[in-house]
Amino acid sequence: MSVQISITEAELVHDLITFFETLVDCDVVRGLPGQVPSPMRECVVITPLAAQGLSLPTAVYADPATATGTLSITQATQWSARIDSYGARAHDMALALSIVLCSAVGCEFLGTLGRAQPLSASAMTHLPISSAEGPFFERWSFDAFLQFNPFITVPQQFADQLHVGLIEVDTTYPTGA
C-alpha cells in the first residue's frame, strides 16, 4: 500500500501557473532543479522550494462498523515557491504578480480552485543573467508563500467486542521455557 496525499506539489504549481497566466501575456512554466540553464526569453518560472508544517497533525477516525475504518491525518502546511520573471519587462511582471498574489484577487482565484491560499510574498530581488547575446538578461525574483491543508487516509481497525479471560501466568509462561 502506498499512502496518497490529498494535495500534491504538482497541483500547487499548476494552480499558480493557471493564476499567473491570467495576469501576464508570456509563458508561465515550472522550473527545473539542478544545473538546467535559465530560459533566455520573456517568461515566468515557478520553482518549488520548501514545505513546512504550521501545526501539529490532527487525526479523525471513521468507523463504519461493517467494514475496515479509516484514519485521516491533516496538517496545515506552508509551501513556498520561487517566482522568477525574465525579459525586458521582468521587473514589472514580478511586481504585478507579487502584489496581486496576496490581494483579494489572488485569494479568491486560488480559493475557487480549493487547494491553497496565499500567505505572503517576499521582497523582490534583481538577479541579472550574463548571456552570450548581450551584456545581461533581466531577471527579477520573489518567493511566494501559500498555505494548504493536505491529508492522508490510512486503513484503521476498530474493536467492537472485547473478551477478557484469566490465565495462570506461571503455568502458561514458565520461567526458563
pLDDT in tens, 132-146: 666 678 899 999 999
- CA dist., res. 169 & res. 73, Å (int): 39
* 18: Cβ contacts below 8 Å, ≥ 6 apart: 113
pLDDT in tens, 101-117: 999 999 999 999 999 99
CB-count exposure of residue 11 (10 Å: 0-12, 13-18, 19+): middle
pTM of the model: 0.83
129 occurs within a structural domain: yes
4 occurs within a structural domain: no
pLDDT in tens, 17-42: 999 999 999 999 998 766 566 677 89
121 occurs within a structural domain: yes
- CA dist., res. 90 & res. 100, Å (int): 15
103 occurs within a structural domain: yes
**Mean pLDDT of the chain, nearest integer:** 90
58 occurs within a structural domain: yes
pLDDT band at 1 (very low <50, low <70, confident <90, very high): low
CATH code for position 132: 3.30.2000
177 occurs within a structural domain: no
Domain that holds residue 62: 9-172
125 occurs within a structural domain: yes
**Structurally, how many domains does the chain consist of?**
1
- CA dist., res. 94 & res. 66, Å (int): 55
2 occurs within a structural domain: no
